[in-house]
Amino acid sequence: MIKFNRIIAAVIICLGLLTISINIVLVYFTNNNENKYYMIEINRAHNEIKENNYSANIDLSRYQYLKDISFLPANFGSDNFGSDNFGSDNFGSDEIKKFFENDNNAYLIKPIGDKEITGYIKFSYTPGANTNGSNVIMIVNLCIGLMSIFIIAILFYIKKQIIKPFNEIREMPFALSKGHLTQGIKESKSRYFGRFLWGLNLLRENLEEHKTKELALTKEKKTIVLSISHDIKTPLSAIKLYTKALSENLYDNEEKRQKIIDGIEGKADEIESFVQDIIKTSKEDFLHIDVRNSEFYLGDLIERLRLYYSDKLDYLKCQFTVQSFENCLIYGDIERGLEVFENIIENAIKYGDGKQITLGFDCEENFQLVSVKNTGNTLPANEMVHLWDSFWRGSNVKDKKGSGLGLYICRQIMTQMKGDIYAAAENEDMCITVVLKKL
């Protein structure tokens, strides 16, 4: 947040400097290109005077910038014009000085005469402001102002609606990794992170639910193991007692000895039964899989697989082919179905030769068959029957990481979706087929 505030401050400063720079440039060019309309009026008045044989009888009210017109003969002491011409017959030093002095208005002096200069005309005028330049400066400043407001508004929007909410949720993944599962995150009004927050909260709830179930299951298993262990003590004590009596030859009668041996055998069977119960308890529900069956279209599932694996397999230089199929309605949980196919395809990537993976389709009565075939089968035929066992890993794993639970989980999921899954080796290819129930 602090870094983003610095970015906002830097943008504001840059916009301010840009505005000042543009205004300086515009003012400079405006001042060097001031309004020249007064020159048009001077030229027009000069032509009018010339057409009137240099008569002073012109109407100055028709001129916006022209304020006064005065005349000075070339021969200051001679009589050059009549009484209706400019000035008087003779010009004294005061009149000459006044003619060339600057007054409140700017002025321009033009000569009289075509071939020979017979006098001078002084045009006094007021320079007009460059209204076009002022308008340009105003429009440019307005545009810069609107642009600046827009940029700053976007930055503050990003800060409030994206950066701030993200800062509030960025610690949640760390909290989840440390087991802090009780506190969720409220969704902001903008709902910008709506689906992301919903996913995080759902993940937190699932983790919390699994943690609760795991604790309950662990407690239940420990209770059962302790109970069975306690029950084992009774037949075990009897066996010890029988063996001690036999070792000390307390029973000299063969019939009694046979009865003791039968008793030991019975107690051993009883202990074996308890051990079987422990093994069964340890295997049952060691991994709870929640499948929420409803209905979904096969096309939706395949399209999600295609979108995810097309780029990944293209990057791995592995050809990924999805054959044509007829879209149909499937019974089950689409999310769990994706988990099954993702597990199978990941195994195909891991244990195949990386050349080709193909999704094939077939129908059989009320079931849809989807096969995942990969080239490069490295699993021995005698190990195929163990594919679905929990914690079992084949001889082809080498240094590849895994838990041996992937395909076991796939079968459990498909059983709950009222489907099935099976594997077959086809020449040099491995083919795993998922059986989905159609609606």
What digits encode the pLDDT tens for the residues 375-417?
988 788 888 888 888 778 888 777 777 777 888 889 989 999 9
Q: Tell the burial category of 84 from Cβ atoms under 10 Å away from its Cβ (0-12, 13-18, 19+).
A: exposed
Residue 420 clears pLDDT 70, i.e. is over it = yes
For residue 47, report the phi and psi dihedrals to the nearest 5 degrees: -65, -40
Asked if 77 and 90 count as a contact pair (C-beta separation under 8 A), the reply is yes
pLDDT-based confidence at residue 325 (cuts at 50, 70, 90): very high
Q: Across residues 414-422, what is the average pLDDT? A: 93
Residue 183 clears pLDDT 60, i.e. is over it = no
Dihedral, 286, 290, 293, 298 alpha carbons, nearest 10: -90
Residue 367 clears pLDDT 90, i.e. is over it = yes
Residues contacting residue 386 through CB under 8 Å, at least 6 positions apart? 392, 394
What is the residue type of 192?
Y
For residue 386, report the phi and psi dihedrals to the nearest 5 degrees: -95, 5
Strands 356-364 and 367-375: antiparallel
3-state secondary structure of 71: strand
Among all chains, which residue has been given the structure tokens 């009668």? Answer: 253
Q: What percent of the chain has pLDDT over 70?
A: 77
Alpha-carbon Rg for the chain in angstroms: 51
Query: How many whole angstroms separate alpha carbon 193 and alpha carbon 171?
Result: 15
Averaged pLDDT score across all residues of the chain:
79
Residues contacting residue 74 through CB under 8 Å, at least 6 positions apart? 80, 112, 113, 117, 118, 119, 120
pLDDT-based confidence at residue 281 (cuts at 50, 70, 90): low
pLDDT-based confidence at residue 438 (cuts at 50, 70, 90): very high
Judged by average pLDDT, the poorest of 191-195, 390-394, 433-437 is 191-195
The pLDDT of residue 120 is 83
The pLDDT of residue 193 is 65
Q: What is the b/e burial string over 133-170, where b = at least 16 CB atoms within 10 angstroms of the residue's CB?
A: beeebeeeeeebeeebeeeeeebeeeeebebebeeebe
Residue 310 clears pLDDT 70, i.e. is over it = yes
The pLDDT of residue 414 is 93
Query: How many whole angstroms separate alpha carbon 18 and alpha carbon 5?
Result: 20
Structure tokens belonging to residue 65: 């910038």
Q: What percent of the chain has pLDDT over 90?
A: 19
Of 39, 23, 25, the C-alpha closest to 128 is 39
Rounded to 10 deg, the angle between the 334-351 and 406-416 helix axes is 150
- Give the range with max mean pLDDT: 26-30, 37-41, 129-133: 37-41
Q: Across residues 207-215, what is the average pLDDT? A: 74
pLDDT-based confidence at residue 185 (cuts at 50, 70, 90): low
Residue 2 clears pLDDT 80, i.e. is over it = no
**Helix or strand (DSSP H, E) at 73:** strand 66-73
Q: Across residues 192-202, what is the average pLDDT? A: 70
Residue 431 clears pLDDT 90, i.e. is over it = yes
pLDDT-based confidence at residue 359 (cuts at 50, 70, 90): very high
Structure tokens belonging to residue 69: 């017109």
